[in-house]
Structure 1
Amino acid sequence: MEDTHPARVRAADADRERVATVVQSAGSEGRLTLDEVEERLTHVYAARFTDELTVLTADLPRPAPPRPGFPLTREALRRHPALRVHLAVVVAVAVLVIVRWAVLGAGFFWPAFPLFWLAVSVLVHARVRSFRERTGAAVPY
């Protein structure tokens, strides 16, 4: 049997599984009854083209895009040498400040204030890099 719609794209198993997950989630949230979930899943696994799959979830809300995670990760440090250097400088300064406090024997832990601002500077740097990556802005090294 020849297809009369050459612009249609065939659905892959991954496409069917993605739509099946959406339908099952909608059922677990109470948006669909058990009968509706069963009926839609039958159509999902019988679908041959992607446009047949989109019809099955057209009346369901789209999931919210994932929020970006914590910006200071090992992967971020691998990708951004400037962030690695910044972190190394912060650690070196933190060690020097703490050693100076310990050697002088001051009772009050005054290094807490500079350590706080050093940590904030690294987190802001990582957050800016993360934002620039997501938006496609140029990230100078």
Structure 2
Amino acid sequence: MKPEVTRLIGELKAADFCCRKLIRLNQELEELNHRMLGLSHDRPALTPEQERSDLPMPTYFHGYTSPLAMMEEITKLEQDMLYYRRRLYECKPIELLSMRDQNILFDLYFFRMRQEDVAEKYGYTRRGLIKKINQILNAVI
């Protein structure tokens, strides 16, 4: 395989990583915003025996984080999100392809479908799909 094709496949995998990282960072940011607004209740998880008990359960004081430290953590998360968005936008050559070719690449490299399933979905044999992928990647490069 050509080094350019290998590089593009690496970019697709990096884009997949960036998408997953953005989702995780967004969840962390939402959790921090809830803490900042006072909407979350951090309490220890109880065991099933403790949940059934009528006795009062011990309360624990979790590490208090000042609002200033939380705001600093939020800005750090937002900077990380911007970095991963920029990395995701760098993978522009895919936009030059037709929708069918984009869907083939996304099914293989983002959704991690098996080659046989993708070949059947788009009406190719497995070997024909590999040739089609090489044509797509050569068109991009």
The TM-score range, normalised by the shorter chain, is under 0.3
Q: TM-score, normalised by structure 2?
A: 0.25
**Greater relative contact order (CA < 8 Å, ≥ 6 in sequence):** 2
Larger C-alpha radius of gyration, 1 or 2? Answer: 1
When the two structures are superposed, what TM-score results if normalisation uses the length of structure 1? 0.25
More helix by share: 2
